[in-house]
A and B are shown apart, each in its own frame.
Chain A
Amino acid sequence: MDAFGLALSLVFNADTLIVIVLASAFGLFVGAMPGLTATMATALLVPITFYMDPIPAIAAIISCTAMAITAGDIPGALLRIPGTPASAAYVEDAHGLTRQGKAGLAIGISICAAALGGLFGFAVLMSAAPMLARFALNFSSFEYFWLSLLGLSCAVIVSRGGVAKGMLSLLLGLFIAQIGLDPLMGQPRFTFGFAELAGGISFIPAMIGMFALAEILRNGRAGLQIVPQIKVATPFAGVGAALRRYRLNLLRGAATGSVIGALPGVGGDLGAWITYSIAKRTSKTPEKFGTGHPEGLVEAGATNNAALSSSWIPAMVFGIPGDAVTAVAVGVLFMKGMEPGPQLLTVNPHNFYAVLLVFVLANLLLIPFGYLAAKVARYIFEVPPSYLNAAILLFCVVGSYAINNTMFGVLVMLILGVLAYILQSRDFAIAPIILGIVLGPLVEQSFTTSMTIARGDPLGFFERPIAATLGAVTVLIWLAVMVRAAYGAWHLRMSQTHNQ
């Protein structure tokens, strides 16, 4: 417990606390801007952390990341522009609530579920980090392949518009991900000789275009619908009731998130999709999903931040970063002489505990900052639509420019935005396209790696126990979908012949 006392003194001093608050505010600002990402916020912080002591430096990265990712839900709820691929899972529900005049409730549920999920993730980190890390080490390319396929299947099946259209959306995303140099040999694919295309298409301009621009086109001259927001005493009214009502979803979402999040590379993006579809599957009112129903929002929101916490497990225990953000953070850990690895837990446990304490603080800070954001958010709807539209469009342009500092990003944003506008008018879901772009490289890489290891034998995909289980679940889900579709068609035909 000595180490814990030392950790307390490392965290609860003026310097560290000020750093945490400032980094959180910065994260909130960057995360709430459509198009700016947590990765960008983190990368901007790194040079500043060079001049800090180790604990404040790590604290800055952690609190900024947690805040930026959660704040990405705010433009999602208000303007239907999700901040991260994960928050695209529940953006329809969050925006649906806003259209009912309950923007405060939508933001409140997102933020509070995220904070609670993050705290749950902390508990897992505290008690089971080495165990979870060891479990995550069992995952080879075979397991990754099945897991990502499972996550993508969930995204397709929950999408409105039917399985065929959801599947086509996903395939379009996978195809977009293939544009550029291939991961095996670096030979150009579908680039038509353009150097810009060789760099591939980033999901950020795609996401901005397909959600924000398409939404503006869809609403037309009238602008974003001005929804009179219900005036309540506090913007978070009703949040507690919703969380209590769906407490099982909250718990399940957080638990699933902590396990999936520990898998480097996939956890953060996929977790929310998997739990959203679980929530829809097990709900008494699945037909309400996607229209502004809090149930999926609670579960997937909790998953999001729980996965974020536990995505630090492989990074801290084995030095294997799962995504760009933790990769940057691992670099900072190294630079500050806190080499990731098991000795972080044994030799210098006070450093490890201090990092955990920062997690708690960062997640607790989400609530007051989120409250402020929700209070301010209401005034967005006081802005006349023509001005709001112009401002959003400017952000779309600048945000998609910023990804590589070229106009090419803006062009991608425009083309994909128009494409999404067309597809959406025929009930194609947009989110699977984004997920396909994000996870396409992982699916392809894990598939080709596995094929190489198995020497081209498809049975090799079922030889390892975890891979076989994940594979079987995926196959069963698709069998269930096909049986239901066949039964539906048969039922329809029967009822028709009956009528005739």
Chain B
Amino acid sequence: MKRFAMATAAAISLLATGNLALAEYPERPVTVIVPWSAGGGTDATGRIIATMLEEKLGQPFNVVNRTGGGGIVGHTAIKDANADGYTIGIITTELSMYDAVGSAPLTYTDYSLVGLYNADPSAVFVRADSDYQTIGDLAEAVEADPEAIQASGANFGGINHLSWVSMVQGLGLDGAQSNWVPAEGGAPALQLLASGAIDVAVVQFPEAQGLMDAGEIRALATLGSEPNAKHPDVPPVTEALGIDFAIAGWRGVGGPAGMPDDIVATLTGALDEIVASQAFRDQMGRLNYGVVWADGSEFADYLQNRGEAFGAAISAAGLGQ
């Protein structure tokens, strides 16, 4: 029933915007909403994508940061935009969680999916002078008293929080017992770690690179099943602790649901070429972001799987509604 209603809505909006789409898209500037602040990974990769889309399609793609509420504001703005193809946005991991956590009624079905371009696991970091030499040491300490270890990485219910909860759960403990300190994002969490206010930071490698190079912090483990390409010596938790791990951060391009099919196809085609290009891989590699590609329908499958994995982790962690 829900699917039918959506199909109807899509058909109606298609009719409504059909005459606009007759001219060659895009015929005027396109707005790209980034739900996270300037300087973060989503902003950096979003600006690369926007610039390259501009080169490919010949109209300005203007990046607009709509921040706040753990990405909810920006994601809502993308969802609520006119489905005429002139407002699209970068959608991120958090979209897999809002509904399950109960913070906002947003799921991937609210969007026209253009393509997935990035997926990265988080990693566990401690201060350089920390007592925990390996992820095993940290796991023992968590097993002894999960509440004693204070961890941070971003907002409550965000990707890094869930990664941490999943790891605690993988150790056979109650994930809800873990002690999570909410922060505005990766950088403030690292500041908390470096200043000695917390014990563990769960963030992604590019965010922590500067402090790692400075010898202020150490990486204990990658929260995934594969080692990070730039940090092959940091063991994945699957190997080090034998925990099966399916949670990873992802970033993709999407627009409001009901965008005309030919416009989505134009964007997907352009994005496919961009993601396949060496220039894009070089830029992403320099920023240490992993490149993956999935077009509309594959992207939807990917998100469905993620949604289920995240949903399971969230409800098991006692965060769900």
Interface positions of A (Cβ within 8 A of B): 39, 43, 46-47, 50, 137-143, 180-188, 195, 198-200, 264-265, 317-321, 324, 326-328, 330-331, 334-335, 337, 339-343, 404-405, 445, 448-449, 452-453, 464
Contact = CB atoms under 8 A, between A and B. Distances in A.
A54 to B, nearest CB: 11
B197 A140 contact: yes
Pairs of residues from A and B, 3 with the lowest C-beta to C-beta distance, nearest first: A327-B39, A181-B69, A319-B210
21 contacts: A43-B63, A47-B51, A140-B192, A142-B197, A181-B68, A183-B184, A185-B103, A186-B155, A195-B76, A265-B188, A318-B210, A319-B209, A320-B190, A326-B39, A328-B38, A330-B39, A335-B283, A340-B210, A341-B209, A342-B210, A445-B183
B206 to A, nearest CB: 8
Contacts of B76: 195, 198
B29 to A, nearest CB: 11
Nearest to B152: A449
Contacts of A341: 209-211, 213-214
Given A324-B38, A341-B211, A341-B213, 18 more contacts: A181-B68, A183-B182, A184-B155, A184-B182, A185-B155, A186-B98, A199-B77, A200-B73, A317-B214, A319-B210, A320-B191, A327-B40, A327-B43, A335-B44, A335-B286, A340-B210, A405-B31, A464-B197
B192 A449 contact: yes
B44 A334 contact: yes
Contact of A141 (B63, B197, B211, B215): B197
A188 B182 CA distance: 17
Interface string B17-51: 00000000000000100000111100110011011
A138 B214 contact: no
Contacts of B44: 331, 334-335
Given A187-B103, A327-B40, A448-B182, A46 B47 contact: yes
A445 B154 CA distance: 12
Contacts of B194: 137, 318
A184 B156 contact: yes
A317 B210 CA distance: 7
A401 to B, nearest CB: 13
Contact of B191 (A50, A137, A448): A137
A330 B47 CA distance: 13
Interface of B: 31, 37-40, 43-44, 47-48, 50-51, 54, 63-66, 68-73, 76-77, 80, 98, 103-104, 150, 152, 155-157, 181-184, 187-188, 190-192, 194-198, 206-207, 209-211, 213-216, 283, 286-287
B176 to A, nearest CB: 15
Nearest to B210: A319
A138 B196 CA distance: 8
Contacts of B150: 453
A268 to B, nearest CB: 14
B73 A342 contact: no
A331 B182 contact: no
A327 B209 contact: no
Nearest to B61: A47
A206 to B, nearest CB: 15
Contacts of A404: 64, 66
Nearest to A319: B210
Given A319-B210, A319-B211, A452 B182 contact: yes
A139 B152 CA distance: 16
Contacts of B195: 137-140, 143
Contacts of B287: 334-335
Contact of A186 (B104, B209, B213): B104
Nearest to B79: A195
B36 to A, nearest CB: 10
Given A139-B191, A320-B190, A185 B157 contact: yes
Contact of A43 (B38, B80, B215): B38
Nearest to B212: A341
A265 B184 CA distance: 12
A45 to B, nearest CB: 12
B45 to A, nearest CB: 10
B310 to A, nearest CB: 16
Contacts of A265: 188
B47 A181 contact: no
B210 A327 contact: no
Contact of B39 (A47, A140, A198, A324): A324
B39 A328 contact: yes
B216 A318 contact: yes
A185 B156 contact: yes
A242 B156 CA distance: 52
Contacts of A43: 38, 63
Most B Cβ at <10 Å: residue of A187, A199, A317, A330: A199
